[in-house]
Structure 1
């Protein structure tokens, strides 16, 4: 968020309270999402469903952050040849790709099938 703000040369972040809500939500949900790394050890069904749900829900505040970053970059007068801009855009693309695969793998059945592929 800070690098998007400094590149766009704006004085304030677009959707400041949305970003604040998103970061707080990611901190709260992220502390209880660790169980999705343990789907293959034989968790009971209720626990697996809980961790699957929390993993899917964490995508909402993450999406808020990504769209806010994109809005800040697209509504600025950034020079396209700036290498920092390309680094930020590359990060956003990679972050989004990882998030999409994370949402797909948040379903415990798919995670068991696609584990270590």
Structure 2
């Protein structure tokens, strides 16, 4: 949905790095099915399992960053007119980035034990 909004706002036909955006979306879908264990703070998972879930949660930041850079790369060089959709799209990208940065910190297994 965000990619469609970015294309609409920039009047471009293709996203910057469209192929990498497709692969990033696929990898997020694949990795997203395998990171559920980091939500089980008090379940008593053994250390190897916690390490796996922490690593998988950290790795999901890579395709997410690819998506953010592709969105921003598409905006680069286009004429922008301030409008509600523009504000909403930039706000989403900002909050998506902020959530991703905090997710990297919160994905550590030791922090799961403390929380």
Alignment of 1:8-23 (within 5 A): 8-23=10-25
Could you say which residue in structure 1 is the equivalent of 2:95? 94
TM-score, with length taken from structure 2: 0.93
Alignment of 1:25-64 (within 5 A): 25-64=27-66
Q: Which runs of 5+ in 2 are unaligned?
A: none
Q: Is the 8 A contact 1:59 1:103 kept in 2?
A: yes
- 4+ residue runs over 2 A deviation: none
Cα displacement string for residues 25-59 of structure 1 (whole angstroms, at most 9, x for unaligned residues)? 00110010111101332110000000000000000
Alpha-carbon distance in structure 1 between the residues aligned to 2:58 and 2:39: 14
Q: Is the 8 A contact 1:4 1:73 kept in 2?
A: yes
Cα displacement string for residues 39-94 of structure 1 (whole angstroms, at most 9, x for unaligned residues)? 33211000000000000000000000001111112321121x22211111111111
Q: What's the secondary structure of 2:93's corresponding residue? A: helix
TM-score, with length taken from structure 1: 0.91
Report how many residues are paired. Answer: 113
Q: Is the 8 A contact 2:15 2:71 kept in 1?
A: no
Cα displacement string for residues 3-38 of structure 1 (whole angstroms, at most 9, x for unaligned residues)? 111111101111011001100000110010111101
CA root-mean-square deviation: 1.0
